[in-house]
Amino acid sequence: MRNPTATQLLFEMSCAGRGTEVFPASDVPDVTGVPKIGADFLASGPLPLPEIAEPDVVRHFVNLSTLNMSVDSHFYPLGSCTMKYNPKRHERLARLPQAANSHPYQSESQVQGLLSVLYEMQTMLAEISGLPGVSLHPAAGAQGEFTALLTAAAWFRDRGENRTRVLFPASAHGTNPASAALAGFECVQLSGGRDGFVDLEELKAHLDERTAVFMVTNPNTLGLFERDIAVVSEMLHSVGGLVYIDGANMNAILGRTRPGDFGGDMMHYNVHKTFTGPHGAGGPGAGPIAVRDFLAPFLPAPVVTFDAARNWYSLSVPEKSIGRVRTFFGNVGILLRGYFYIRTLGGRGLREASENAVLNANYLLSQVKDFLEVPHGDRCMHEFVASAKRQKDLTGVTTMDIAKRLLDYGFHAPTVYFPLVVEEALMMEPTETESLQTLDAFAGALRKICSEPAELVKGAPHSTAVCRPDEVNAARKPVLCWSAPNC
Protein backbone atom coordinates (compact mmCIF):
# COMPACT_ATOMS: atom_id res chain seq x y z
CA MET A 1 0.00 0.00 0.00
CA ARG A 2 1.32 3.41 -0.92
CA ASN A 3 2.59 5.40 2.00
CA PRO A 4 1.48 8.99 1.39
CA THR A 5 3.92 10.47 3.89
CA ALA A 6 7.05 8.97 2.41
CA THR A 7 8.23 11.20 -0.39
CA GLN A 8 10.95 13.05 1.47
CA LEU A 9 14.25 13.26 -0.31
CA LEU A 10 17.18 11.32 1.11
CA PHE A 11 18.82 14.63 1.90
CA GLU A 12 15.90 15.81 3.98
CA MET A 13 16.11 12.62 6.04
CA SER A 14 19.77 13.12 6.87
CA CYS A 15 20.84 13.75 10.43
CA ALA A 16 24.40 14.86 11.08
CA GLY A 17 26.41 12.45 13.17
CA ARG A 18 24.17 9.48 12.50
CA GLY A 19 26.69 7.81 10.19
CA THR A 20 27.75 4.39 11.32
CA GLU A 21 30.96 2.55 10.69
CA VAL A 22 30.21 0.27 7.77
CA PHE A 23 33.57 -1.40 7.57
CA PRO A 24 35.80 -3.02 10.16
CA ALA A 25 38.72 -1.09 11.59
CA SER A 26 42.00 -1.34 9.75
CA ASP A 27 43.90 -4.56 10.47
CA VAL A 28 47.17 -3.40 8.95
CA PRO A 29 49.88 -1.37 10.67
CA ASP A 30 50.87 2.09 9.52
CA VAL A 31 53.99 1.99 7.41
CA THR A 32 56.68 4.52 6.69
CA GLY A 33 58.61 3.04 3.81
CA VAL A 34 56.38 4.20 0.99
CA PRO A 35 55.73 7.76 -0.22
CA LYS A 36 53.08 9.67 1.68
CA ILE A 37 50.25 11.59 0.02
CA GLY A 38 50.82 15.33 0.36
CA ALA A 39 48.30 17.50 2.16
CA ASP A 40 47.53 19.25 -1.16
CA PHE A 41 45.80 16.15 -2.39
CA LEU A 42 43.73 15.40 0.67
CA ALA A 43 40.07 16.24 1.20
CA SER A 44 39.54 19.05 3.65
CA GLY A 45 36.62 17.32 5.36
CA PRO A 46 34.01 14.60 5.05
CA LEU A 47 31.89 14.35 1.91
CA PRO A 48 28.59 16.27 2.09
CA LEU A 49 26.61 13.05 1.62
CA PRO A 50 23.45 12.40 3.66
CA GLU A 51 23.69 10.39 6.88
CA ILE A 52 20.85 7.92 7.10
CA ALA A 53 20.31 4.76 9.12
CA GLU A 54 19.93 1.59 7.07
CA PRO A 55 16.30 0.90 8.11
CA ASP A 56 15.35 4.36 6.89
CA VAL A 57 17.20 3.76 3.62
CA VAL A 58 15.19 0.60 3.08
CA ARG A 59 11.87 2.21 3.89
CA HIS A 60 12.67 5.17 1.66
CA PHE A 61 13.40 3.11 -1.44
CA VAL A 62 10.64 0.59 -0.87
CA ASN A 63 8.18 3.46 -0.64
CA LEU A 64 9.61 5.04 -3.77
CA SER A 65 9.26 1.75 -5.61
CA THR A 66 5.52 1.77 -4.97
CA LEU A 67 5.24 4.94 -7.07
CA ASN A 68 6.35 3.02 -10.17
CA MET A 69 4.53 0.95 -12.70
CA SER A 70 6.55 -2.07 -13.87
CA VAL A 71 6.17 -5.28 -15.84
CA ASP A 72 6.07 -7.25 -12.60
CA SER A 73 3.08 -5.26 -11.43
CA HIS A 74 1.33 -3.84 -14.52
CA PHE A 75 0.58 -4.41 -18.19
CA TYR A 76 3.19 -2.23 -19.92
CA PRO A 77 2.50 -2.05 -23.67
CA LEU A 78 5.26 0.46 -24.37
CA GLY A 79 5.76 0.09 -28.12
CA SER A 80 9.29 -0.48 -29.39
CA CYS A 81 10.49 -1.43 -25.89
CA THR A 82 9.26 -5.07 -25.72
CA MET A 83 8.26 -5.02 -22.07
CA LYS A 84 7.81 -8.75 -21.66
CA TYR A 85 7.97 -10.86 -18.54
CA ASN A 86 11.45 -11.02 -17.04
CA PRO A 87 12.06 -14.65 -16.11
CA LYS A 88 13.05 -14.89 -12.46
CA ARG A 89 15.07 -18.03 -13.16
CA HIS A 90 17.74 -15.90 -14.81
CA GLU A 91 18.53 -13.94 -11.71
CA ARG A 92 19.98 -16.66 -9.53
CA LEU A 93 22.02 -18.00 -12.42
CA ALA A 94 23.46 -14.59 -13.23
CA ARG A 95 24.82 -14.52 -9.69
CA LEU A 96 26.88 -17.70 -10.08
CA PRO A 97 30.47 -16.98 -9.07
CA GLN A 98 32.14 -16.99 -12.48
CA ALA A 99 29.40 -14.77 -13.90
CA ALA A 100 29.04 -12.22 -11.13
CA ASN A 101 32.45 -11.98 -9.53
CA SER A 102 34.99 -12.37 -12.32
CA HIS A 103 37.26 -9.38 -12.79
CA PRO A 104 37.69 -8.47 -16.47
CA TYR A 105 41.48 -8.92 -16.18
CA GLN A 106 41.11 -12.42 -14.77
CA SER A 107 43.30 -14.84 -16.74
CA GLU A 108 41.61 -16.79 -19.53
CA SER A 109 42.13 -20.05 -17.71
CA GLN A 110 39.94 -18.79 -14.85
CA VAL A 111 36.98 -17.90 -17.05
CA GLN A 112 36.85 -20.83 -19.48
CA GLY A 113 33.32 -21.69 -18.37
CA LEU A 114 32.13 -18.12 -18.85
CA LEU A 115 33.90 -17.77 -22.19
CA SER A 116 32.33 -21.03 -23.38
CA VAL A 117 28.90 -19.58 -22.63
CA LEU A 118 29.72 -16.29 -24.38
CA TYR A 119 31.10 -18.17 -27.38
CA GLU A 120 27.90 -20.17 -27.58
CA MET A 121 25.92 -16.92 -27.35
CA GLN A 122 27.85 -15.59 -30.38
CA THR A 123 27.01 -18.75 -32.29
CA MET A 124 23.34 -18.62 -31.33
CA LEU A 125 23.00 -14.96 -32.29
CA ALA A 126 24.62 -15.73 -35.65
CA GLU A 127 22.07 -18.48 -36.26
CA ILE A 128 19.08 -16.36 -35.18
CA SER A 129 20.14 -13.48 -37.45
CA GLY A 130 21.52 -15.49 -40.37
CA LEU A 131 24.61 -13.28 -40.16
CA PRO A 132 27.79 -15.16 -39.23
CA GLY A 133 30.01 -12.48 -37.65
CA VAL A 134 28.98 -11.56 -34.11
CA SER A 135 30.39 -9.12 -31.59
CA LEU A 136 28.95 -9.05 -28.07
CA HIS A 137 30.93 -5.91 -27.23
CA PRO A 138 28.44 -2.97 -27.59
CA ALA A 139 26.71 -1.80 -24.40
CA ALA A 140 23.26 -1.13 -25.85
CA GLY A 141 21.37 -0.97 -29.13
CA ALA A 142 22.44 2.58 -29.94
CA GLN A 143 26.07 1.67 -29.41
CA GLY A 144 25.52 -1.38 -31.61
CA GLU A 145 24.33 0.91 -34.40
CA PHE A 146 27.34 3.16 -34.01
CA THR A 147 29.71 0.19 -33.90
CA ALA A 148 28.23 -1.45 -36.98
CA LEU A 149 28.44 1.82 -38.92
CA LEU A 150 32.12 2.14 -38.00
CA THR A 151 32.60 -1.48 -39.06
CA ALA A 152 31.01 -0.69 -42.42
CA ALA A 153 33.12 2.45 -42.78
CA ALA A 154 36.27 0.43 -42.14
CA TRP A 155 35.23 -2.08 -44.82
CA PHE A 156 34.61 0.72 -47.34
CA ARG A 157 37.96 2.28 -46.53
CA ASP A 158 39.65 -1.08 -46.92
CA ARG A 159 38.20 -1.22 -50.43
CA GLY A 160 39.46 2.26 -51.16
CA GLU A 161 36.00 3.79 -51.09
CA ASN A 162 34.92 6.91 -49.31
CA ARG A 163 31.17 6.77 -48.85
CA THR A 164 29.70 9.59 -46.84
CA ARG A 165 25.96 9.15 -46.56
CA VAL A 166 23.67 7.16 -44.32
CA LEU A 167 19.99 6.99 -45.30
CA PHE A 168 17.03 6.19 -43.09
CA PRO A 169 13.25 6.60 -43.24
CA ALA A 170 11.46 9.32 -41.28
CA SER A 171 9.91 6.62 -39.11
CA ALA A 172 13.36 5.57 -37.83
CA HIS A 173 14.28 5.57 -34.15
CA GLY A 174 16.13 8.75 -33.22
CA THR A 175 19.17 6.66 -32.42
CA ASN A 176 19.68 5.85 -36.14
CA PRO A 177 20.46 9.42 -37.25
CA ALA A 178 22.22 10.15 -33.97
CA SER A 179 24.51 7.12 -34.39
CA ALA A 180 25.16 7.93 -38.04
CA ALA A 181 26.14 11.49 -37.18
CA LEU A 182 28.37 10.28 -34.34
CA ALA A 183 30.07 7.92 -36.78
CA GLY A 184 30.85 10.89 -39.02
CA PHE A 185 28.26 10.29 -41.74
CA GLU A 186 25.98 12.77 -43.43
CA CYS A 187 22.35 11.91 -42.61
CA VAL A 188 19.72 11.71 -45.33
CA GLN A 189 16.16 11.23 -44.18
CA LEU A 190 13.59 9.72 -46.56
CA SER A 191 9.96 10.54 -46.01
CA GLY A 192 8.70 7.06 -46.89
CA GLY A 193 5.49 6.08 -48.62
CA ARG A 194 2.03 6.98 -47.35
CA ASP A 195 1.37 3.31 -46.80
CA GLY A 196 4.10 3.21 -44.16
CA PHE A 197 6.64 1.31 -46.22
CA VAL A 198 9.91 2.43 -47.75
CA ASP A 199 9.13 4.27 -50.98
CA LEU A 200 11.28 2.50 -53.58
CA GLU A 201 11.19 5.39 -56.04
CA GLU A 202 12.26 7.84 -53.38
CA LEU A 203 15.00 5.50 -52.21
CA LYS A 204 16.25 5.03 -55.76
CA ALA A 205 16.48 8.77 -56.27
CA HIS A 206 18.81 9.03 -53.30
CA LEU A 207 21.15 6.15 -54.09
CA ASP A 208 24.53 6.88 -55.62
CA GLU A 209 28.24 6.37 -55.12
CA ARG A 210 28.08 8.40 -51.90
CA THR A 211 25.62 6.00 -50.29
CA ALA A 212 27.20 3.98 -47.51
CA VAL A 213 24.35 2.45 -45.55
CA PHE A 214 20.57 2.35 -45.48
CA MET A 215 19.33 1.87 -41.92
CA VAL A 216 15.93 0.31 -41.61
CA THR A 217 13.96 -1.23 -38.78
CA ASN A 218 12.19 -4.42 -39.88
CA PRO A 219 9.43 -4.90 -38.94
CA ASN A 220 9.38 -1.12 -39.05
CA THR A 221 8.25 1.22 -36.29
CA LEU A 222 4.69 1.12 -37.62
CA GLY A 223 4.68 -2.61 -36.93
CA LEU A 224 4.78 -3.50 -40.62
CA PHE A 225 7.12 -5.97 -42.25
CA GLU A 226 8.91 -4.16 -45.08
CA ARG A 227 7.58 -6.42 -47.83
CA ASP A 228 10.03 -5.04 -50.39
CA ILE A 229 13.05 -5.48 -48.14
CA ALA A 230 14.74 -7.89 -50.58
CA VAL A 231 14.37 -5.34 -53.37
CA VAL A 232 15.63 -2.58 -51.09
CA SER A 233 18.65 -4.72 -50.36
CA GLU A 234 19.34 -5.37 -54.06
CA MET A 235 19.05 -1.66 -54.76
CA LEU A 236 21.58 -0.85 -52.07
CA HIS A 237 23.95 -3.57 -53.17
CA SER A 238 23.73 -2.50 -56.80
CA VAL A 239 25.22 0.88 -55.90
CA GLY A 240 27.75 -0.69 -53.55
CA GLY A 241 25.98 0.24 -50.33
CA LEU A 242 25.01 -1.86 -47.32
CA VAL A 243 21.76 -2.50 -45.45
CA TYR A 244 21.60 -2.09 -41.69
CA ILE A 245 18.74 -3.73 -39.81
CA ASP A 246 17.77 -2.03 -36.56
CA GLY A 247 16.88 -5.10 -34.52
CA ALA A 248 14.62 -3.38 -32.00
CA ASN A 249 11.69 -5.36 -33.37
CA MET A 250 13.28 -8.80 -33.54
CA ASN A 251 10.64 -10.10 -31.16
CA ALA A 252 8.26 -10.24 -34.14
CA ILE A 253 10.25 -12.57 -36.35
CA LEU A 254 12.36 -15.01 -34.31
CA GLY A 255 12.55 -18.29 -36.19
CA ARG A 256 10.20 -16.98 -38.88
CA THR A 257 12.66 -15.00 -40.95
CA ARG A 258 16.18 -13.69 -40.46
CA PRO A 259 17.83 -10.37 -41.30
CA GLY A 260 20.55 -12.26 -43.16
CA ASP A 261 17.90 -14.03 -45.25
CA PHE A 262 16.01 -10.89 -46.18
CA GLY A 263 19.02 -8.90 -47.31
CA GLY A 264 20.45 -7.27 -44.21
CA ASP A 265 24.24 -6.96 -44.08
CA MET A 266 24.44 -6.05 -40.43
CA MET A 267 22.17 -5.57 -37.44
CA HIS A 268 22.08 -5.08 -33.73
CA TYR A 269 20.10 -6.97 -31.12
CA ASN A 270 18.53 -5.36 -28.08
CA VAL A 271 19.17 -8.31 -25.79
CA HIS A 272 17.29 -6.80 -22.85
CA LYS A 273 14.18 -6.46 -25.01
CA THR A 274 14.07 -9.45 -27.32
CA PHE A 275 15.69 -11.97 -25.00
CA THR A 276 14.69 -10.37 -21.70
CA GLY A 277 16.86 -8.53 -19.22
CA PRO A 278 15.99 -6.18 -16.41
CA HIS A 279 14.88 -2.96 -18.10
CA GLY A 280 16.08 -1.45 -14.85
CA ALA A 281 14.20 1.85 -15.11
CA GLY A 282 16.22 2.76 -18.19
CA GLY A 283 18.95 0.16 -18.58
CA PRO A 284 21.32 -1.65 -18.74
CA GLY A 285 20.99 -3.21 -22.13
CA ALA A 286 23.35 -5.12 -24.36
CA GLY A 287 23.62 -4.38 -28.07
CA PRO A 288 25.51 -7.19 -29.81
CA ILE A 289 25.86 -6.85 -33.56
CA ALA A 290 25.80 -9.49 -36.28
CA VAL A 291 27.34 -8.92 -39.72
CA ARG A 292 28.03 -10.70 -43.00
CA ASP A 293 31.23 -12.69 -43.32
CA PHE A 294 33.10 -10.02 -45.30
CA LEU A 295 32.53 -7.49 -42.49
CA ALA A 296 33.60 -9.84 -39.69
CA PRO A 297 37.34 -9.00 -39.89
CA PHE A 298 36.46 -5.39 -39.00
CA LEU A 299 34.38 -6.13 -35.90
CA PRO A 300 35.36 -4.45 -32.64
CA ALA A 301 37.63 -6.23 -30.20
CA PRO A 302 37.47 -8.47 -28.32
CA VAL A 303 35.55 -11.45 -29.67
CA VAL A 304 35.58 -14.96 -28.20
CA THR A 305 37.29 -17.61 -30.33
CA PHE A 306 37.52 -21.35 -29.79
CA ASP A 307 40.48 -23.57 -30.54
CA ALA A 308 38.97 -27.05 -30.82
CA ALA A 309 42.37 -28.75 -30.85
CA ARG A 310 43.26 -27.28 -27.47
CA ASN A 311 39.64 -27.15 -26.28
CA TRP A 312 40.39 -23.56 -25.34
CA TYR A 313 38.40 -20.33 -25.43
CA SER A 314 40.24 -17.03 -25.89
CA LEU A 315 39.60 -13.34 -26.36
CA SER A 316 40.81 -12.28 -29.79
CA VAL A 317 41.14 -9.18 -31.90
CA PRO A 318 39.70 -9.56 -35.42
CA GLU A 319 42.27 -9.05 -38.15
CA LYS A 320 41.25 -5.54 -39.22
CA SER A 321 39.31 -4.60 -36.10
CA ILE A 322 37.95 -1.07 -35.65
CA GLY A 323 39.14 -1.33 -32.02
CA ARG A 324 37.08 -1.04 -28.88
CA VAL A 325 33.98 1.08 -28.25
CA ARG A 326 33.95 0.55 -24.47
CA THR A 327 36.16 -0.86 -21.76
CA PHE A 328 36.40 -4.59 -21.11
CA PHE A 329 34.40 -7.30 -22.86
CA GLY A 330 30.75 -6.18 -22.88
CA ASN A 331 27.60 -6.16 -20.75
CA VAL A 332 28.14 -9.76 -19.70
CA GLY A 333 25.44 -9.71 -17.00
CA ILE A 334 22.79 -8.90 -19.61
CA LEU A 335 24.24 -11.16 -22.31
CA LEU A 336 24.00 -14.07 -19.87
CA ARG A 337 20.34 -13.43 -19.16
CA GLY A 338 19.71 -13.39 -22.92
CA TYR A 339 21.63 -16.63 -23.21
CA PHE A 340 19.56 -18.26 -20.45
CA TYR A 341 16.41 -17.17 -22.26
CA ILE A 342 17.46 -18.67 -25.57
CA ARG A 343 18.58 -21.89 -23.89
CA THR A 344 15.24 -22.37 -22.10
CA LEU A 345 13.13 -21.58 -25.16
CA GLY A 346 15.15 -23.31 -27.85
CA GLY A 347 14.44 -22.86 -31.56
CA ARG A 348 10.80 -23.80 -31.33
CA GLY A 349 10.18 -21.74 -28.20
CA LEU A 350 11.61 -18.61 -29.78
CA ARG A 351 9.38 -19.09 -32.77
CA GLU A 352 6.36 -19.61 -30.53
CA ALA A 353 7.23 -16.50 -28.57
CA SER A 354 7.27 -14.42 -31.74
CA GLU A 355 4.09 -16.03 -33.01
CA ASN A 356 2.28 -15.18 -29.83
CA ALA A 357 3.67 -11.65 -29.77
CA VAL A 358 2.25 -11.15 -33.27
CA LEU A 359 -1.02 -12.86 -32.34
CA ASN A 360 -1.46 -10.68 -29.26
CA ALA A 361 -0.75 -7.49 -31.19
CA ASN A 362 -3.21 -8.40 -33.94
CA TYR A 363 -5.84 -9.34 -31.40
CA LEU A 364 -5.41 -6.04 -29.58
CA LEU A 365 -5.58 -4.23 -32.91
CA SER A 366 -8.85 -6.02 -33.69
CA GLN A 367 -10.25 -4.89 -30.36
CA VAL A 368 -9.41 -1.19 -30.67
CA LYS A 369 -9.77 -0.42 -34.35
CA ASP A 370 -13.49 0.37 -34.17
CA PHE A 371 -12.92 3.29 -31.80
CA LEU A 372 -9.31 4.32 -32.51
CA GLU A 373 -7.94 5.01 -35.96
CA VAL A 374 -5.20 2.62 -37.07
CA PRO A 375 -3.85 4.39 -40.15
CA HIS A 376 -1.76 1.54 -41.53
CA GLY A 377 -4.22 -1.29 -41.93
CA ASP A 378 -5.71 -4.05 -39.88
CA ARG A 379 -2.73 -6.39 -39.85
CA CYS A 380 0.48 -5.85 -37.98
CA MET A 381 3.46 -7.73 -36.69
CA HIS A 382 4.25 -7.51 -32.95
CA GLU A 383 3.05 -3.92 -32.51
CA PHE A 384 0.85 -1.36 -34.20
CA VAL A 385 0.37 2.38 -34.19
CA ALA A 386 -3.06 3.81 -33.50
CA SER A 387 -3.92 7.49 -33.75
CA ALA A 388 -6.12 9.68 -31.56
CA LYS A 389 -6.37 12.34 -34.25
CA ARG A 390 -10.11 11.80 -34.58
CA GLN A 391 -10.59 12.23 -30.83
CA LYS A 392 -8.45 15.33 -30.85
CA ASP A 393 -10.37 16.92 -33.70
CA LEU A 394 -13.76 16.06 -32.23
CA THR A 395 -13.33 16.55 -28.50
CA GLY A 396 -9.89 18.00 -27.94
CA VAL A 397 -8.76 14.85 -26.12
CA THR A 398 -5.18 14.13 -27.16
CA THR A 399 -3.02 11.06 -27.19
CA MET A 400 -1.31 12.38 -24.08
CA ASP A 401 -4.67 12.65 -22.28
CA ILE A 402 -5.55 9.07 -23.19
CA ALA A 403 -2.13 7.88 -22.08
CA LYS A 404 -2.53 9.58 -18.72
CA ARG A 405 -6.06 8.26 -18.24
CA LEU A 406 -4.86 4.69 -18.86
CA LEU A 407 -2.75 5.03 -15.71
CA ASP A 408 -5.95 5.47 -13.71
CA TYR A 409 -7.12 2.11 -15.00
CA GLY A 410 -3.91 0.45 -13.88
CA PHE A 411 -2.21 0.17 -17.25
CA HIS A 412 1.06 1.70 -18.34
CA ALA A 413 0.63 3.90 -21.39
CA PRO A 414 1.75 2.86 -24.87
CA THR A 415 4.61 4.77 -26.49
CA VAL A 416 3.15 8.14 -27.47
CA TYR A 417 3.94 10.57 -30.28
CA PHE A 418 6.25 8.09 -31.99
CA PRO A 419 6.82 7.37 -34.80
CA LEU A 420 6.75 10.97 -35.94
CA VAL A 421 5.01 10.07 -39.20
CA VAL A 422 1.70 9.38 -37.43
CA GLU A 423 -0.20 12.25 -35.81
CA GLU A 424 -1.30 11.66 -32.21
CA ALA A 425 0.41 8.28 -32.28
CA LEU A 426 -0.18 5.52 -29.73
CA MET A 427 2.27 2.69 -30.35
CA MET A 428 1.17 -0.52 -28.65
CA GLU A 429 3.29 -3.60 -28.15
CA PRO A 430 1.56 -6.12 -25.87
CA THR A 431 4.31 -8.82 -26.14
CA GLU A 432 3.66 -12.55 -25.96
CA THR A 433 3.67 -12.81 -22.18
CA GLU A 434 0.20 -11.36 -21.70
CA SER A 435 -3.02 -13.30 -21.51
CA LEU A 436 -6.28 -12.82 -23.38
CA GLN A 437 -7.86 -11.51 -20.18
CA THR A 438 -5.24 -8.78 -19.83
CA LEU A 439 -5.60 -7.74 -23.46
CA ASP A 440 -9.38 -7.61 -23.09
CA ALA A 441 -9.14 -5.56 -19.93
CA PHE A 442 -6.77 -3.11 -21.59
CA ALA A 443 -8.88 -2.78 -24.74
CA GLY A 444 -11.94 -2.33 -22.54
CA ALA A 445 -10.28 0.49 -20.62
CA LEU A 446 -9.25 2.21 -23.84
CA ARG A 447 -12.74 1.89 -25.22
CA LYS A 448 -14.20 3.34 -22.06
CA ILE A 449 -11.75 6.24 -22.04
CA CYS A 450 -12.71 7.10 -25.61
CA SER A 451 -16.31 7.59 -24.50
CA GLU A 452 -15.61 9.39 -21.25
CA PRO A 453 -16.28 13.13 -20.91
CA ALA A 454 -13.38 15.10 -22.34
CA GLU A 455 -12.87 17.03 -19.12
CA LEU A 456 -12.41 13.84 -17.14
CA VAL A 457 -9.79 12.53 -19.54
CA LYS A 458 -8.00 15.85 -19.84
CA GLY A 459 -7.76 16.02 -16.07
CA ALA A 460 -6.14 12.58 -15.81
CA PRO A 461 -4.45 10.91 -14.13
CA HIS A 462 -6.63 11.20 -11.06
CA SER A 463 -5.28 8.30 -9.03
CA THR A 464 -1.51 8.72 -9.19
CA ALA A 465 0.65 10.47 -6.63
CA VAL A 466 1.23 13.40 -8.97
CA CYS A 467 -0.56 14.76 -12.03
CA ARG A 468 0.97 16.36 -15.12
CA PRO A 469 4.26 17.79 -13.93
CA ASP A 470 5.05 21.23 -15.30
CA GLU A 471 7.66 20.37 -17.92
CA VAL A 472 7.85 23.89 -19.30
CA ASN A 473 8.99 25.39 -16.05
CA ALA A 474 11.30 22.45 -15.46
CA ALA A 475 13.04 23.17 -18.76
CA ARG A 476 13.11 26.95 -18.36
CA LYS A 477 14.68 26.88 -14.93
CA PRO A 478 16.28 23.47 -14.58
CA VAL A 479 16.67 22.15 -11.04
CA LEU A 480 18.82 19.05 -11.43
CA CYS A 481 20.30 18.78 -7.99
CA TRP A 482 19.06 19.21 -4.45
CA SER A 483 20.75 21.91 -2.44
CA ALA A 484 20.55 22.53 1.25
CA PRO A 485 18.18 25.32 2.29
CA ASN A 486 19.95 28.67 2.77
CA CYS A 487 23.04 27.45 1.01
Partner 1 sequence: MKAEELRYAKTHEWVAVDGDTATVGITDFAVKLLTDIVYLSLPIVGKSYSPGQAMGEVESVKAVSDIYAPVSGEVIEVNSALPDNLVLLNDSPLEKAWIARLRMHSPSEAGSLLSYADYVKHCDKAHH
Partner 2 sequence: MAYLFDTPEQRKIMFDAIGIASIDELFQQIPAELQLKRELDLPPALSELALEQDMQRRLGSAGGRGTCFLGGGVYDHFIPAVVDEITSRGEFYTAYTPYQAEASQGTLQAFYEYQTLISQLTGMDVSNASLYEGGTAVSEAVFMAMRINGRHGRVAIAGTLHPEYRQVLETYCSRLGTELVEIPHTNGVISAEACRAALDSETCAVVLQQPNFFGCLEDIRGLTDIAHAAGALSILAFDAVSPGMLKRPGEYGVDIAVAEGQPLGTPLQYGGPLLGIFTCRGDYVRKMPGRLIGKTTDRKGKECFVLNLQTREQHIRRDKATSNICTNQGLLALRTTVFLATVGPAGMRQMATLSHQKARYAAELLTAIPGVSLKFPGAFFREFLLETPLPACDMLKALSDRGYDVGPDMGRFSLTSVDGWQNCFLVALTEKRTRAEIEGLADAMRGVLERV
Binding site for partner 1 (CB under 8 A): 417, 471-472, 475-476
C-beta of 320 vs 390, nearer to partner 1: 390
CB nearer to partner 1: pick between 9 and 474: 474
Single-letter code of the amino acid located at 214: F
We find the least distance from the C-beta atom of residue 99 to partner 2, in angstroms, to be: 5
Please confirm whether the linkage preceding 219 is cis (ω < 30° from 0).
yes
Under rule CB under 8 A, residue 229 binds partner 2? yes
Q: Is 487 in the site for partner 2 (CB under 8 A)?
A: no
Task: Provide the minimum distance between the beta carbon of 426 and partner 1 in the complex, in angstroms, as a whole number.
Answer: 16
Give CA–CA dist 94/111, Å, rounded: 14
How far is the C-alpha of 203 from the C-alpha of 235, rounded, in Å? 9
C-beta separation of 425 from 385 below 8 A: yes
Binders in 96-155 for partner 2, by CB under 8 A: 96-107, 109-114, 116-117, 120, 124, 127-128, 139-143, 145-146, 150, 153
Which residues in the 249-288 window bind partner 2 by CB under 8 A? 253-258, 261-262, 270, 272, 278-286
Question: Which residue spans within 261-374 are E strands per DSSP?
Answer: 266-269, 289-291, 303-307, 312-316
Nearest distance, CB of residue 438 and partner 2, angstroms:
10
Residue placing its CB nearer to partner 1 in the complex, 34 or 472: 472
Q: Are 138 and 149 in contact (CB under 8 A)?
A: no
CB of 124 to partner 1, least distance (A): 39
Which CB, 205 or 467, lies closer to partner 2? 467
Distance of CA 248 to the CA centre of its chain: 7
Question: Is residue 232 near partner 2 by the rule CB under 8 A?
Answer: no
Rounded Cα distance between 433 and 436, Å, is 10
What DSSP state is assigned to residue 301?
Answer: S
Please list, in sequence order, all residues whose beta carbon lies within 8 angstroms of the beta carbon of residue 266, skipping any fewer than 6 positions away: 131, 148, 151, 152, 242, 243, 244, 245, 289, 290, 291, 292, 295
Range 408-467, binding partner 2 (CB under 8 A)? 412-413, 415-416, 418, 432-433, 435-436, 461, 464-467
Q: Please say which residue, 160 or 478, places its beta carbon nearer to partner 1.
A: 478
Nearer to partner 2, 84 or 236 (CB): 84
Contact present, 373 and 386 (Cβ < 8 Å):
yes
Closest to 167 measured CA to CA, from 223, 242, 222, 114: 242
* Residue 36 binding target from partner 1, partner 2, none, CB below 5 to 8 Å by type: partner 2
- Using the rule CB under 8 A, is 206 a contact of partner 2? no
Minimum Å distance from CB 154 to partner 2? Answer: 8
Residue 195 contacts partner 2 per CB under 8 A: no
Q: Which is nearer to partner 1, 103 or 476 (CB)?
A: 476
Residue 60 sits in the site that holds partner 2 (CB under 8 A): yes
Nearest to partner 2 of 178, 239 (CB atom): 178
CA–CA separation, 56 and 18 (whole Å): 12
19 versus 193: smaller Cβ distance to partner 2 = 19
Residue number, 68 or 473, with CB nearest to partner 1: 473
C-alpha–C-alpha distance, residues 37 and 89, integer Å: 48
Query: In DSSP terms, which residues pair with 306 in a beta bridge?
Result: 313
Sign of dihedral through CA atoms 64, 65, 66, 67?
Answer: positive
Work out whether strand 165-169 and strand 186-190 pair parallel, antiparallel, or are unpaired.
parallel
Rounded to the nearest whole angstrom, what is the least distance from the CB of residue 3 to partner 2 in the complex?
Answer: 12
Task: Tell me how far, at minimum, the Cβ of 348 lies from partner 1, in Å.
Answer: 43
Q: Does 61 bind partner 2 (CB under 8 A)?
A: yes
Its sign, for the CA torsion 243, 249, 253, 255, is positive
Please return the burial class of 472, using the count of CB atoms within 10 Å of its CB with bins 0-12, 13-18 and 19+. exposed
Among partner 2, partner 1, none, what does residue 331 contact (CB within 5–8 Å per kind)? Answer: partner 2
Residue 191 partner contact from partner 1, partner 2, none using kind-dependent CB cut-offs of 5 to 8 Å: none
Cβ at position 238, least distance to partner 2 in Å: 19
Q: Which does 433 bind (CB under 5 to 8 A by kind): partner 1, partner 2, none?
A: partner 2
Cα–Cα distance measured from residue 426 to residue 403, given in angstroms and rounded to the nearest whole number = 8
The CA R_g of the chain, rounded to the nearest whole Å, is 25
Distance CA 311, CA 313 (A): 7
Residues 320-359 interacting with partner 2 (rule: CB under 8 A)? 322-334, 340, 342-353, 355-356, 358-359
We find the least distance from the C-beta atom of residue 197 to partner 2, in angstroms, to be: 11
